């Protein structure tokens, strides 16, 4: 083999090596700039490794419920938070004698006067209905319209509320604004990452999407969309004792 041929082969191998390294690196770089970073992605693993010790995540994850139907996202999100709180809980016959909120016993007679299980099954729950039904469970619930925020206000609220201060945050947002399949959706927010300015969503449609880190600005825009049932902005419900 001549010197020229050997040099050509070495050059080709070097180009091949560079292409392989570049192809491997592209997904990680793309993830870092994505609106949504999913739990099981390479960047998602980095983010979850630095979840703060005082984040709501650690209280929520043992009680993280999956919605029983495709329209029960509000109910599953609500009981995820309620079961994470030190409050009186009802006893469901399925778990007697143990007290635990379920997607069945959430619908007390008082809740039924606000919205019935059949209505939720047909159309889900608005932001005001979520807050009103939670108050019937013996907790405080503050409803905040998504179009009332700018990034700074939302960031300050979430940094405080997602710490271990007795507050929990439920978000109502439009999936398609985040590049996801579906419409309006409810889930609990679990943590805020300062370095990336992202919020962790515990998606109760676990059969559809894993937990996801969403950029704060994108979440704000997704919550500022209009709910077609109420003709009002989606947004947040802050829950506390």
Q: Quick check: is 171 in a domain?
A: yes
> What are residue 22's phi and psi, to 5 degrees?
-65, -45
Cis peptide preceding 97, ω within 30 of 0: yes
**pLDDT in the model for residue 165:** 78
Nearest to 80 by CA among 60, 100, 104, 98: 60
Within a domain: 139? yes
Does 109 fall in a domain? yes
Mean pLDDT of the chain: 89
pLDDT value of position 121: 97
**Confidence label for 22 from pLDDT (cuts 50, 70 and 90):** very low
Q: Residue 142, Cβ neighbours under 10 Å: how many?
A: 13
- Does the residue 8 lie in any domain? no
pLDDT tens, residue by residue, 125-172: 999 999 999 999 999 999 999 999 999 999 999 999 999 779 999 999
Does residue 56 form part of some domain? yes
Is the model's pLDDT at 26 over the cut of 80? Answer: no
Position 26 in a domain: no
Q: Per the structure, how many domains does the chain have?
A: 1
Sequence-ordered list of residues with C-beta below 8 angstroms from that of 219, at least 6 positions apart, any chain:
154, 171, 173, 178, 199, 201
Q: Say if 100 falls within a structural domain.
A: yes
Query: Within 10 A of 213 (CB to CB), how many other CB atoms are there?
Result: 26
> In this predicted structure, what is the pLDDT of residue 102?
98
Q: Give residue 164's pLDDT.
A: 77
Give SS3 for 106. coil
Structural domain containing residue 222: 34-240
CA-to-CA distance for 53 and 59, rounded, in angstroms? 10
Q: Tell me, yes or no, whether 5 lies in a domain.
A: no
pLDDT in tens, 100-111: 999 999 999 999
Task: Give helix then strand counts, H and E, for the chain.
Answer: 9, 7
| Choice among 6-10, 119-123, 146-150, 215-219 with the minimum mean pLDDT | 6-10
Residue 6: pLDDT band by 50, 70, 90 thresholds?
very low
Report d(CA 168, CA 190) in Å as an integer. 8
**What DSSP state is assigned to residue 227?**
P
Domain CATH code at residue 72: 3.90.70.30
Q: Give the 3-state secondary structure of 23-92.
A: HHHHHHHHHHHCCEEECCCHHHHHHHCCCCCCCCHHHHHHHCCCCCCCCCHHHHHHHHHHCCCCCCCCEC
Contact 187, 36 (CB under 8 A): no
Q: What is the pTM of this model?
A: 0.85
């Amino acid at each position: 083999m001549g010197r020229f041929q050997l040099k050509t082969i070495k050059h080709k191998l070097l180009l091949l090596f560079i292409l392989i390294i570049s192809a491997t690196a592209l997904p990680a770089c793309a993830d870092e700039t994505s609106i949504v970073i999913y739990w099981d992605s390479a960047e998602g693993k980095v983010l979850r490794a630095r979840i703060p010790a005082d984040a709501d995540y650690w209280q929520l994850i043992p009680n993280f419920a999956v919605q029983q139907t495709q329209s029960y996202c509000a109910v599953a999100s609500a009981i995820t938070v309620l079961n994470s709180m030190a409050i009186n809980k009802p006893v469901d016959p399925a778990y007697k004698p143990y007290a635990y909120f379920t997607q069945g016993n959430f619908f007390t007679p008082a809740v039924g006067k606000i919205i019935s299980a059949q209505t939720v099954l047909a159309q889900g729950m608005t932001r005001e209905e979520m807050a009103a039904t939670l108050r019937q469970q013996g907790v405080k619930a503050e409803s905040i319209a998504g179009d009332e925020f700018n990034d700074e206000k939302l960031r300050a609220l979430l940094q405080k509320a997602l710490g271990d201060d007795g507050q929990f945050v439920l978000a109502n947002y439009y999936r398609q604004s985040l590049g996801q399949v579906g419409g309006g959706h409810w889930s609990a927010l679990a943590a805020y990452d300062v370095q990336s300015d992202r919020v962790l969503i515990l998606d109760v449609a676990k059969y559809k999407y894993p937990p996801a880190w969403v950029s704060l600005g994108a979440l704000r825009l997704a919550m500022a969309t209009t709910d077609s049932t109420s003709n009002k902005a989606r947004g947040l419900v802050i829950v506390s004792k």
